[in-house]
Chain A
Amino acid sequence: MSYEKEISEKIEKRQPLPAKLDISVIKYFWQASPFTSSHRDHVPKFLRKIEVLKHFSDNELRILSKYLHKRTFSATETIFRQGDKGVGFYFVYSGHVEAIVSSESAQEMGEITNTASKHVVSLERKDYFGELALLQENNIRSATVIAKSSCDLLGIFKPDLENLIEEWPTVAARLLQAISIIVADRFYLISQEVGHLKYKILQLENK
């Protein structure tokens, strides 16, 4: 019995029909196929999910993704060290990284010790770090960043920014706008903190 006859009989007998085509399964297999170039879209899609890049249009994200470099780090590998000269801004594409700020004295000793002077921040997918490197003329890294697990990072570097400004000025402006937002937010927090601390100092002095 052919499939069509079976279906038409079932309709006549008002029996329940077999399950319809599952579009999402087909979509899955389509995307998993090595012949489609959809893996190229992954980076713009990933960038879309990042909060600070929300001003970008889809096309601008696609252009930006061409200027990003995917760098793979294995676990415990150092991405950069505190005090290094920096030229790159990174997004965490997958995996975990850890930023470690050691205090001045520990730095001068020439070693990063396991004391309380260490301040650790853990960064995951969609987080970013090193944005000041794109803005400052001679950027010195203010933290050491180490890969916690094997991870992929998307980096954009000073030369890329220069090319971007030349070739796609609007995209470059959007990127700089995004970095300005990050920096401005941080500056606002810090100035609030400073105000708070000043007030505390004043209180202590008055005692």
Chain B
Amino acid sequence: MRSRDRKFQKSDEFSKMFFFIFFFVVIGIIFTGLPRLAIPVGVAYVMGHLLMPLMQRLERLGLSRTLAITLIFAAIVIITIYPIIKLLPILAEEAENFQYYIPKIEKFIGATYVNLRNEVYQRTGLELGDKTLIDLVTYLKDGSRNLLMNLPQYLASLLEWMLLVPLFLFFYMKEVESVKRAILRLTPNSIFEKFYFLSHQFNNQLGGYIFAKIVEASIVGIIITTGLWIMEIRFAFLLGLIAMITNIIPYVGPILGLFPAILLALAEYGISSNFWAVIILYAIANVIDLALVFPILVSKIVDLHPLLVVASVILGSQLLGVVGMVISIPMVAAIKLIIHEIYLEIYPTGKE
């Protein structure tokens, strides 16, 4: 009787484990296979992480959860509607102007290149090939043309997101606990404690990382935008936005954000006081970021070696492009957490 009992229990445990893993594999396949679904869900998850503490505070005041979420949504709309209405036309205008600006940059690059080639030829007697240059210019042209050609498509998906993200966000905030409990109920007994503890730790790390990154990017974006705007540099808002978005990518991002600014400043002003002012502004913004914001906010949350960070960013860009660069750090942090746990399992450190 007892052995039969044990047999039954083993198969039960096995099927639970199988179902549990199957569940996650299916979710993983759905999300990697359907970026149209995965991106709004991801955005909703990130925003949910940010808004959750606010919701809990409102709930503690005695509001029902639905009312708390509705209030938060209303507040977001009211707070963001004025800047969006003000900023969007400026950004649109700048983006449109930028397109007419490309030939100027192209000409500038060409002229600089001819100078450089002449100089190199005079000094060393070597002739530089122009393959790289032609590649670069065609890349720039194609890139901007593609952007303009696909603009309606981008706008359409933006509209889709504007509808889907609030929807997902609402239900994420409303149901997150019951979903968590449902997943925990599926978890087999043998891995329950480990799974619960690890997923909780990872969620906390990820939430902290996202929060820190958004604060960091906003600080850098605001410094650069206001600086450029005060100096009356063209495309101040566009450049500020680019700097803010690229700042999310660790280490490599600030350089990516600087690149368009240098090109524009060189093409517009040449090597003049304005050009140096732009460089100094970017340097100041990044020094503030590196010296103050990053050590205080980000590095404490994700405890990764700088080399590992750079390596994972490169790997992420190789596999998934820009999205890969952004999500690589949380992914590596999760993998590190799991490996550390397995390490402790295999090499117990004795009694601590």
Contact = CB atoms under 8 A, between A and B. Distances in A.
Q: Do A and B come from one complex?
A: yes
B34 to A, nearest CB: 30
Interface in A83-100: 83-88
B193 A159 contact: no
Contact of B196 (A77, A85, A87): A87
Contacts of A80: 193
Given A85-B344, A138-B352, A77 B189 contact: yes
A174 interface: no
Interface string B180-199: 01001000011011101100
Contacts of B2: 75-76
Contact of B8 (A74, A85, A167): A74
Interface residues of A, number: 24
Contact of A71 (B181, B192, B348): B192
Contacts of B5: 74-76
B110 to A, nearest CB: 60
Interface string B45-87: 0000000000010001000000000000000000000000000
A79 interface: yes
A159 B196 contact: yes
A167 B60 contact: yes
A86 B190 CA distance: 12
Contacts of B56: 166-167
Question: Which of A77, A80, A88, A162 is most buried by chain B, counting CB atoms within 10 A of its CB?
Answer: A77
B99 to A, nearest CB: 50
A69 interface: yes
A155 to B, nearest CB: 8
A166 B57 CA distance: 10
Contacts of A56: none
B189 A157 contact: no
A82 to B, nearest CB: 12
B12 interface: yes
A140 B351 contact: yes
B131 interface: no
Contacts of A69: 181, 184
B36 interface: no
A129 interface: no
A128 interface: no
A89 B116 CA distance: 72
A45 to B, nearest CB: 21
A87 B193 contact: yes
A158 interface: yes
A159 B197 contact: yes
Nearest to B181: A69
A47 B8 CA distance: 31
B300 interface: no
Interface in B275-322: none
B200 interface: yes
A85 B192 CA distance: 12
Interface string B204-238: 00000000000000000000000000000000000
B9 interface: yes
A73 B197 contact: no
Nearest to A137: B352
A203 to B, nearest CB: 31
Contacts of B123: none
Nearest to A139: B352
Contact of A79 (B12, B189, B352): B189
A64 B156 CA distance: 47
A76 B352 contact: no
B12 A74 contact: yes
A162 B12 CA distance: 32
A157 B2 CA distance: 31
Interface centre among B8, B189, B197 (most CB of A within 10 A): B189
Nearest to A88: B193
Nearest to A76: B6
B351 A73 contact: no
B191 to A, nearest CB: 11
B6 A140 contact: no
Nearest to A66: B177
Interface string B87-120: 0000000000000000000000000000000000
B12 A83 contact: no
A148 to B, nearest CB: 11
Contact of A159 (B8, B9, B200, B351): B200
B197 A87 contact: yes
A140 B352 contact: yes
Contacts of B9: 74-77
Interface string A120-159: 0000000000000000001010000000000000000111
Which 8 interchain pairs have the tightest Cβ spacing? Answer: A159-B200, A74-B9, A87-B197, A138-B352, A87-B193, A88-B193, A76-B6, A75-B5
7 contacts: A73-B189, A75-B5, A76-B6, A84-B193, A87-B193, A162-B200, A167-B60
Given A75-B6, A75-B9, A162-B200, 5 more contacts: A69-B184, A74-B5, A76-B6, A85-B194, A86-B193
Interface of B: 2, 5-6, 8-9, 12-13, 56, 60, 181, 184, 189-190, 192-194, 196-197, 200, 344, 348, 351-352
